[in-house]
Every structure is written in C-alpha cells, then in structure tokens.
Amino acid sequence: MTQKTALVTGSSGFIGYFTSLALLRAGWKVVGIDSLSDYYEVPLKQKRQAMLTAHDDFSVINDTIETPGHLLNLFETHKPEAVIHLAAQAGVRHSIDAPRDYLNANLIGAFELLEAARAHPPKHMLLASTSSAYGANTQMPYAETDKADTQMSFYAATKKATESMAHSYAHLYGLPITMFRFFTVYGAWGRPDMAHFLFTRAILAGEPIKVYNHGEMQRDFTYIDDLVASMVALLDVPPDPARPVERDSISPVAPFRIVNIGNGAPAKLMDFIGAIETACGREATKTYHDMQPGDVFATWADTTLLHNLIGLRPITPMATGLQHFVDWYRGYYGV
C-alpha cells in the first residue's frame, strides 16, 4: 500500500509536535513547516523538532508560512493527501501588544495555505480555530451552530476570519475543510505562556501566581492526547454536504464544517490551580487581579458533533493530565 503524506504546519509547536508524532506512529509520512519564532523559548521548539527528525518519515522546513510560494512549493513537491494547519501566532493577551504578528501569521499565512491547496487539492484539510471565536456568547455549552460574531480579541478575530476564508475556498474550489475549535489545551511540552505552565513554574520556584478575575473563571480544559486523537480521527471523515450527521455544522453550499474539540465539562479556575498544587506537592501563594482585556469568563464545549463524527470524546481527567505535566516539567527543567 502506498504511504500517505500529511503536511503539518507549525510542526515544532506544542500541538504540532504531538500531531506529527501521532501521524508518524500511524504510518504516515509527515512534512512539517515551522518558523521557530521567538514568541517563546526557541530551544523548546528545537527539542521537539529534533525528536521528530529522528523519524525517517519526517522532514521539515524552517520558514514562515506567509513567505510567498513556500507552501505552494511544498504542496507541489509532496502532494499531501491530508493537511493539518496549526501554524499561527497564538495568545489572546499578546495580540493586544503585537497585532501585526497575527495579521501576518494568521491571515496572510492562511491565505498562502488556501492558495497552495487550490493549486494542489488534498483529500482533507483540518485548520485550527479556537474557542475564543465564540467571543461574548453567554449561551453554554458552545455549539458549532451558534452565531459567533462578537470576538473579544484580535487573536480570536483572525481565527474567525480564517474560518470565513476557508469556507469561501471550500465553496469555490471544492476543498474539503474541517475547522476545529479547540478549548484550552494543556500537557507536557506545552507553551510556556500557558496558565498551567506559568502556575507550575511559579509554585515550584516559591513565587506567587496571578489569579485573574479573583478566581471567578471557568475553562473547558482539554488534555493534549485527547485533542490529537480527535484530530487524527477526524481526518477520516471529511465533510460532505450530501451526508451530514446529527447535529452537524456542515455548510449547505460547501464541503466545510466546524467541530469543537474540548473536554465537554468546564472546570473552575481554582480547582485547576488546586490540581496543580497537588501535583507539585505544595500550595501556591496567590495574588488576585481583575479580568484581563480580551478575556472571557467561561468556556464550555458541546462535544456532541465530535462524538457523532468519530465516536470519541476527550476522557483524560484534569488531575491525571496535570500530574503528567508537572512530572514532565520537573524532569525537563531539573526541578
């Protein structure tokens, strides 16, 4: 049987690393592209990339996706059957300080990807969006069919714009596209700007942690292994307007759908911190602050469609996932 090829953008990132690894283990040839940007510590990205390049079926180009022609060349050379687009400038708070970074990576980068796919159509494309796309919505849990026009950060706005761009290409050129909105992903090898990373680092260093909105927040925390398993399974169910499933978000005019990937149950921020304290074996010193600009009070994923499509829902308990993270952190940083 001919080996299948997948293109993973952002392959040296947190989610990109685990996604590439899962595909390699499943027998795919994986072509990656990653800019190794300095948004957070580059050695962490380089270590992830080094572990991937130890596999014979993995190759990578270190460049930005918005560089004209680079993605087109990758598509033309490798003719990927599947594309998982994870490269992006992430972070709600950073988008307030550096919005142009989001314009370049998230919008121009997505345009270059869609143009390359137009020239060399893959069988299925999975593009990362975010739960932040739901913005000021207060109806919980968030369903893919909910109206989502009130984004509260420029980061979220660029992701919602990517969804609209992708739908237009799916309609015009018949590209099967699944947008997945993921919910607060955590786990080993994560981004150092993420809450579980910041809390763990401070607690183990004996430093205070910042608790926003005075702890009155909820998040649908999703363990990295659950997210990746869901994404890989979704590759086998490209959207087809002629064959919708129950509760589908599929477009009536294009092979396009949006799928939530989340735990399906929000956790209180203070319970999340408590689980990290337990995993670290010590209590945090807490300072309480008001809500930050661009943030939202709660997120909660309706995972009915995900289950209807792949028969799975994320299952890792928060305490288990955070213990795995803290154990990794202690080993990686020698704490």
Q: Who contacts 65 (Cβ-Cβ below 8 Å, separation ≥6)?
A: 9, 33, 35, 71, 87, 105, 109, 112, 113
Residue 96 resides in a domain? yes
Q: Which residues are catalytic?
A: 155
pLDDT at residue 130, as a whole number: 95
Consecutive H or E run containing 82: strand 82-85
Residue 10 resides in a domain? yes
Are the C-beta atoms of 220 and 263 separated by less than 8 Å? yes
List 63's β-bridge partners, or say none.
none
d(CA 190, CA 288): 24
Please report, for residues 153, 177, 194, 203, 246, the alpha-carbon distance to residue 297 in angstroms, rounded to integers and kept in the order given. 14, 30, 17, 24, 30
Residue 276 resides in a domain? no
pLDDT at residue 246, as a whole number: 93
| CA angle 100–102–105, rounded 5-degree value | 110
Residue 174 resides in a domain? yes
131-155: pLDDT as tens digits: 999 999 999 999 999 999 999 999 9
- Hey, what are 219's tokens? 């998040």
Phi, psi of 175 (to 5 degrees): -80, 120
DSSP state of 103: I
Domain extent at residue 93: 5-184+221-264+301-315
Residue 305 resides in a domain? yes
DSSP state of 93: T
| CA angle 262–268–269, rounded 5-degree value | 100
d(CA 17, CA 8): 9
- CATH at 70: 3.40.50.720
State which residues of the chain have pLDDT below 70: 1
pLDDT at residue 1, as a whole number: 67
Mode of pairing for the β-strands spanning 267-268 and 218-219: antiparallel
d(CA 37, CA 66): 13
d(CA 177, CA 189): 28
pLDDT at residue 115, as a whole number: 98
Residue 232 resides in a domain? yes
pLDDT at residue 312, as a whole number: 87
For 45, the 3-state DSSP assignment is helix
pLDDT at residue 69, as a whole number: 92
d(CA 319, CA 316): 8
Phi, psi of 47 (to 5 degrees): -65, -45
Residue 255 resides in a domain? yes
Q: How many domains does the chain have?
A: 1
Q: Helix, strand, coil: what percent of the chain each, to 5? A: 40, 15, 40
Judge if pTM exceeds 0.85. yes
Residue 94 resides in a domain? yes
